[in-house]
Amino acid sequence: MNRSDTQFERIAYPVGFGLLVLLLWEISVRVFGISPALLPAPSAIGAAIAGSVPILWGDWVQTVIKGAMNGLWMGGIAGVALALVIDRFAFLKQGLMPVANFFAALPIVGLAPIMVMWFGFDWHSKAAVVAIMVFFPMLVNTLGGLAATDSMQRDLMRTYSAGHIATLLKLRIPAALPFVFNGLKIATSLALIGAIVAEYFGSPIRGMGFRITTEMGRLATDMVWAEIFISALTGTALYGLVALIEKRVTFWHPSQRG
């Protein structure tokens, strides 16, 4: 129990566990003769992915690049920018923090049908849903991060007679970065959820959410699973990308030094 994990173990165990699950899945589908309309075997899903790369690529661009990514940068920048503005005014901060915290806990995804009504079927409505979903966690985390400096660090800046901007740039923004990345990690997961759900309320004839609903109707479950696999891969890759950038940017933070 006191042995520390080697790099090999840290990769081998989860990969092994994943392969084991896939293997059991494949075997039980074959042994019990489960209908492919109900649950296709991993090999069948793999074949579906290999056989429909252009369709999957088109769906991916529509949902991830146009919907999720556009919403992510809009909502993210808006959240961080508003946090920087609010931070200047104690009164606003006191009033907005609880409200924003409450909004961050709400099922904002319910706005999806309204956004589709406002912005139409194409990616604009998806980006709008994503932007609003992402906005609150980014706002709340950035505000929390800006408040994360201790009094000694702030006193130090006061002994230099540093102004608001200097204190912000030299102390509070760097100290807030780990929190901002935390918000960004939450945001990437929300972005995909928002972009896909919004497609259930209307979309052009491409997109991952659109494909899932239509293939579902045709009982082409292998295509549904293909989309699930792509979306899972995208979600994990996005998270991994954010974590990687975080490691590079906040290398100094105790949680990153390992």
Q: Could you say which residues in the range 161-220 bind other proteins, by CB under 8 A?
A: 161-162, 166, 170-171, 174, 177, 188-189, 192-193, 196-197, 200-201, 208-209, 212-213, 216
Q: Number of residues interacting with other proteins: please give it, by CB under 8 A.
A: 77
Window 68-107: residues binding other proteins (CB under 8 A): 91-92, 94-96, 98-99, 102, 105-107
By CB under 8 A, is residue 31 in contact with other proteins?
A: no
Give the shortest CB-143-to-other proteins separation in angstroms: 13
* 50, 120, 153, 245: residue in contact with other proteins (rule CB under 8 A): 153
Give the shortest CB-214-to-other proteins separation in angstroms: 11
* 44, 47, 78, 156: residue in contact with other proteins (rule CB under 8 A): 156
Task: Give me the sign of the Cα torsion angle 86, 92, 93, 99.
Answer: negative
By CB under 8 A, is residue 145 in contact with other proteins?
A: no
Give the shortest CB-51-to-other proteins separation in angstroms: 19
By CB under 8 A, is residue 155 in contact with other proteins?
A: yes
Read out DSSP for the chain?
--PPPPHHHHHHHHHHHHHHHHHHHHHHHHHHT--TTT---HHHHHHHHHHTHHHHHHHHIIIIIIIIIHHHHHHHHHHHHHHHHHHH-HHHHHHHHHHHHHHHTS-GGGGHHHHHHHH-SSHHHHHHHHHHHHHHHHHHHHHHHHT-S-HHHHHHHHHTT--HHHHIIIIIHHHHHHHHHHHHHHHHHHHHHHHHHHHHT---S-SHHHHHHHHHHTT-HHHHHHHHHHHHHHHHHHHHHHHHHHHHHTTTSHHHH-
Give the shortest CB-92-to-other proteins separation in angstroms: 7
Window 35-74: residues binding other proteins (CB under 8 A): 38-39
* 24, 27, 85, 117: residue in contact with other proteins (rule CB under 8 A): 117
Give the shortest CB-77-to-other proteins separation in angstroms: 20
Give the shortest CB-47-to-other proteins separation in angstroms: 18
* 80, 135, 238, 246: residue in contact with other proteins (rule CB under 8 A): 238
**Closer to other proteins by Cβ: residue 54 or 257:** 257
N- to C-terminal Cα distance for the chain? 19
**Closer to other proteins by Cβ: residue 128 or 197:** 197
* Cβ partners under 8 Å of residue 257, min gap 6: 251
**Lookup: tokens for 11:** 């990769």
Give the shortest CB-182-to-other proteins separation in angstroms: 13
Identify the CA nearest to 76 among candidates 183, 177, 202. Answer: 183
